[in-house]
Chain A
Amino acid sequence: MTERSERHDRVFWSSLFSSRQDGIRWWWIAGALIVSAVPLLLAPGQLTTFVLLGLSAMAVVGLSLLMGYAGQVSLGQASFTAIGAYTSGLLALHHTPPLLALLAAPIVAALAAAGVGVPILRLRGHQLAFATLALQLILLSVLGDADWAGGAVGLQGLPYLSIGGFELDADLDYAYLVLAGVLLVSLIAHRLVRSRVGRGLRALATGETAAEASGVPVGAYRLLVFAVSAAFAGLAGGIYSFFLGYLAPGSFPVLLSIEYVVMAVVGGLGSIGGALLGAALITVVVQLLTTLATQPGMPSYAPSVLSYAVYALLLIAVVLFVPKGIVPTLRRSS
């Protein structure tokens, strides 16, 4: 890293925790309050959906940042969810305190991203899309063959997460844990886009060479966003492993990465609100259709057909007719 980019990083990290910067609008706070009441009103099955929605949202906030600000298409975001989940799972099974195991998840995911990011972030467009896809396929194949990771069966019998003697053993606990996670991730993302890094990356999106010429350390910023976005997914993966108590390579298929892309694109790339809305909208629509499709008399394949159709049609329709995504479009017209 160059000296300059180190300085930029210091500015970024300090801005993250300073309250000088404006921008958290009142409706963000109102929204957070309303949403935090939601878990209390949900039935047990719906709580599971709520938790999974929140986990998707965390990964999607990262992906949206990456795609919107670093202009990169990643078809491998679920790799980092997997890395986070396996990190937490393996550590917890090897008698690491669960909280520590959870904290390790985003860190290991970010380190992994930084490692592969150095060579592959030089790729653009479809090349990066295929490279990230390839990395995920390799990861899944390695995990599926690795005895230390439980092979295709994966890891089972993970302990519950416990924080300071309090064991999170109810779905409701995880609902609030996930809410806190979403909040944290959104806050970091928000600070990141307002920081010098975010401004530099916006300049970069409009004209790379110009940004580079004006002294923006393009490569370092892009790597930073890639690592941060991986950390978000990794944290989601870590919570996931404690929530479900088991994991397998099959829990993180390529389709999960594509699902994240759909959510990010539908909500609006580069928009945190968009990422949250995209994740919520798609999870809820798919859940409603699944409920509908599992009614008696419906064929057994109905749920998967309907959910694939929803992903596909929403993605295509939004890309063609609302190319900026829902939230940025609404914001512009209001």
Chain B
Amino acid sequence: MAELLQYLVTGVGIGCAYALTGSGLVVIYRVTRVVNFAQGSFAVLAALTVTTLLGAGLPHGLAEILAVLVAGLIGLLCGLVATGKPGTTPQTALIVTLGLGVLAYAVEILFWGDQPRSFAGLAGSTGGVQTHYLLIIGVTAVVLAATALLFARTDLGRALTATAADPYAARIVGIDVLRMGLLAFAVGGALGGLAGVLITPVQQVSFDSDVALVVNGFSAAILGNLTRPALTLAGGLLLGVVQALVGGYLSTSYQSEVALIFMLAVLVARAGRRGVLEAA
């Protein structure tokens, strides 16, 4: 029983990282229609930045927050490269973000080498579970709630939603659609960065951890068709828990397949339904 509880908590904790990564994808996709392949790189860059800041003597907390802001800035720059040139289609931008993900490898190895890195999280354990998992869950809950409020309750959030819903109408009322897209990239970068900062103490990170992260984040978000934040959270938690259970009771070697097979199943099932609708 204690074992099960442990798997559930660690699963939810890891799932939070997927949900944050997926939410970043969703924010960016809704506003710009770009699927940001470099989403996992934000997490890696932020985590590596924390190791440097901690090494420079900054206290915990501050180092993590600064790293998340750095990730937001990197997100903004990615947005600028991927969508800044007039006439860039979302398909083109997807390929550009693929390139940005590879560029991140160069930067990461240049500054941090190619060996996995980690840093200490919240020490100790609570009820047989590493306390850090509880921190991950708490911070994720607060941040995702704040993001939801940003979208629902502020003029800026409404403008982002408006741009997502109808870019043409947004232009007509004078919303700068490009700037909204960049803002979305910045928010997406910060959310991705937060995922990396939170998860690295329990799962070390290396330059190529981004693929697993973006794939898991995409799998979390695909349930809600990359546009539904609540379903993305649910998807992330579901994946995290199922992976923890599979890893705990079956074998860790099947763990990574869980998200992949889930993603394929959702995609194919949805395409099948679309096919039936089209034929009708």
User: Which residues on A are within 8 Å of B, measured CB to CB?
Assistant: 73, 75, 119-120, 122-123, 125-127, 129-131, 133-135, 137-138, 141, 144-145, 254-255, 258, 261-262, 265, 301, 304-306, 308-309, 311-313, 315-316, 319-320, 323
Contacts and interface: CB of A to CB of B under 8 A. Distances in A.
Contact of B263 (A130, A305, A315, A319): A130
B207 to A, nearest CB: 9
B169 interface: no
Contacts of A134: 215, 260-261, 263-264
B153 interface: no
The 7 closest A-B pairs by CB, nearest first: A312-B103, A315-B99, A126-B35, A308-B106, A122-B271, A316-B99, A312-B102
Interface stretch (B10-18, B88-96, B126-134): B88-96
A245 B267 CA distance: 38
B211 interface: yes
Residue with the greatest number of chain A CB neighbours at <10 A, chosen from B256, B260, B263, B272: B260
Contacts of A144: 253
B92 A319 contact: yes
B94 A130 contact: no
Q: Binding site of A, secondary structure by majority: helix, strand, loop or mixed?
A: helix
A138 B212 CA distance: 12
B96 A316 contact: yes
B113 interface: yes
Residue with the greatest number of chain A CB neighbours at <10 A, chosen from B81, B103, B114, B275: B103
Nearest to B34: A126
B106 to A, nearest CB: 4
Given A134-B215, A308-B106, A320-B85, A127 B267 contact: yes
Chain A CB count within 10 A is highest, among B101, B109, B114, B257, for: B109
Contact of B256 (A126, A130, A141, A323): A141
B36 to A, nearest CB: 10
Contact of A311 (B96, B102, B268): B102
A131 B215 CA distance: 10
Given A122-B268, A122-B272, A130-B263, A315 B109 contact: no
Given A305-B109, A320-B88, A258 B102 contact: yes
Contacts of A133: 211, 215
Interface string B174-213: 0000000000000000000000000000000000100100
A119 B268 contact: yes
Contacts of A320: 85, 88, 92, 96
B253 A145 contact: yes
B215 A308 contact: no
Most A Cβ at <10 Å: residue of B92, B103, B106, B263: B106
9 contacts: A73-B95, A119-B271, A119-B272, A130-B215, A131-B263, A308-B106, A312-B100, A312-B103, A323-B92
Given A123-B268, A130-B218, A131-B267, A305 B103 contact: no
A305 B100 contact: no
A315 B102 contact: yes
B268 A126 contact: no
Contacts of B109: 301, 304-305, 308
A308 B267 CA distance: 31
Nearest to A313: B103
A150 to B, nearest CB: 15
B65 interface: no
Given A130-B263, A133-B215, 7 more contacts: A135-B260, A254-B211, A258-B98, A258-B102, A304-B105, A308-B109, A315-B98
A265 B92 CA distance: 11
Interface string B195-239: 000000000000010010001001000100000000000000000
A138 B257 contact: yes
B83 to A, nearest CB: 11
B110 A137 contact: no
A267 to B, nearest CB: 14
Of B218, B271, B272, which is in contact with the most chain A CB atoms at under 10 Å from its CB?
Answer: B271
B100 A301 contact: no
B253 A315 contact: no
Contacts of B272: 119, 122
The CB with the most chain A CB atoms within 10 A, among B37, B98, B103, B208, is that of B98
B271 A305 contact: no
Contact of A308 (B103, B211, B271): B103
Given A138-B261, A316-B81, A323-B92, A311 B99 contact: yes
Contacts of A126: 35, 94
B263 A125 contact: no
A250 B126 CA distance: 39
A254 B35 CA distance: 18
Contacts of B37: 129
A120 B268 contact: yes
A313 B260 CA distance: 29
Given A73-B94, A130-B218, A130-B263, A301 B99 contact: no
B102 to A, nearest CB: 4
A309 B215 contact: no
